[in-house]
Amino acid sequence: MVSLKINGVVRNIDAPDDMPLLWALRDVLNMTGTKYGCGAGDCGACTVLVNNDSARACQTPIGSLTDAEVITIEGLSTDNSHPLQKAWIEVGVPQCGYCQAGQIMSAAALLIANPKPTDADIDEAMRHNICRCGTYTNIREAIHRASVG
């Protein structure tokens, strides 16, 4: 049994310590906002926050998260009121939408660390998140909007 604090709530997960956080979220806790992409930590679709830093849930064993605070896309807000969610909607970032939870969570980690990022800061922070639809310009614009709001 692993006890994790996810989105401010302590959850007890009956699973082995080496289970990836992604599977604990999706299969055990039925929190499906975090997406499976490549399974190798390369695409960023499964990005969550662990202690306010971006982390690939597919590569993070739940046993390594003792005393950690995990925030998923569901934990940013329940009503799309988080500045990044609002900016994503205003700019019309998503096309297919599959990568967007991971994109938003990487952007959230960036804005926590650097509330007023430059284009170069955004490009660096987001470089490991792949968007098959190519909405990178809109993603950058949304991050700038969220950083002012």
- 62 φ, ψ (degrees, to nearest 5): -60, -30
**What is the number of structural domains in the chain?**
2
Does 33 lie in the same domain as 17? Answer: yes
List alpha helices for the chain, DSSP H.
Answer: 21-23, 73-76, 83-91, 100-113, 119-126, 136-148
Does 71 lie in the same domain as 108? Answer: no
Does 92 lie in the same domain as 36? Answer: no
CB 149 within 8 A of CB 86: yes
What confidence score (pLDDT) does residue 122 get?
97
Q: Which domain holds residue 94?
A: 83-148
Which residues of the chain, if any, have pLDDT below 50? none
What digits encode the pLDDT tens for the residues 122-140?
Answer: 999 999 999 998 899 999 9
Residue with tokens 């997406």: 35
